[in-house]
Amino acid sequence: MLTKLNITDDSGFIAIANADKYFSFVDENWNFPQLLNHFVAQMNKQAFIIWATGLQNTWTIFFSNKPSNQKAFREFGKSIDVTNGQLFLTNYEDLTMAAQFDEETIPANHNSQLCIKLDNGKYIFSIRQMFDPENYDYDQIEKNDFEVIIQSDNNSKPINIDKVFWWAD
């Protein structure tokens, strides 16, 4: 499975969501700490994975079943469930709209093509950031900003986390 997707990021966060399991609405007047807590709760339900990118940009995300030979700047792994044969790449802007308005959902209409098709089951996603945000080359050509390595994992017990990956308060 090889897929390359591009997504805009105007706030420094991108995510992968199971649209069937991810409960998006938080509150019409949510605050940032409340939203972060919501994100962590949804990750612990295996419905969602979110991480801070360190910068705002349009990112190229490469999905594969094995990592490239390129050294990653940093990486983490998190499990997620697939229940409807697909997951969606999304951004903070879409997540905040869905958090504030009950009728908004993930994926947002304008990002519904950012789909990763997978068989139903549990997977471990290893997110590999391929650049140092403190030393990013915006003119880099034919780059993968992030690699997402997808491995089936129907046997291990989910590990709960307590904060959004790579977010420093």
Q: What percent of the chain has pLDDT over 70?
A: 96
* Inside any domain, residue 160: no
d(CA 124, CA 122): 7
Model pLDDT, residue 136: 76
* Inside any domain, residue 51: yes
Tally the domains of the chain: 1
* Inside any domain, residue 73: yes
Q: What angle do CA 158, 166, 114 make, to 5 degrees?
A: 75
* Inside any domain, residue 13: yes
**pLDDT over 70 at 76, yes or no:** yes
Contact 56, 10 (CB under 8 A): yes
d(CA 45, CA 157): 12
For the residues 7-11, what does the mean pLDDT come to? 94
Model pLDDT, residue 156: 77
* Inside any domain, residue 169: no
For the residues 20-45, what does the mean pLDDT come to? 97
Domain that holds residue 24: 3-152
Model pLDDT, residue 155: 80
Average pLDDT, the chain: 93
Q: What percent of the chain has pLDDT over 90?
A: 86
Q: How far is CA 124 from CA 48, 51, 130, 149, in A?
A: 12, 15, 19, 8
For the residues 136-161, what does the mean pLDDT come to? 83
* Inside any domain, residue 119: yes
For the residues 65-76, what does the mean pLDDT come to? 95
Model pLDDT, residue 159: 86
CATH of the domain at 145: 2.60.34.30
pTM, to two decimals: 0.94
Model pLDDT, residue 138: 62
* Inside any domain, residue 38: yes
* Inside any domain, residue 19: yes
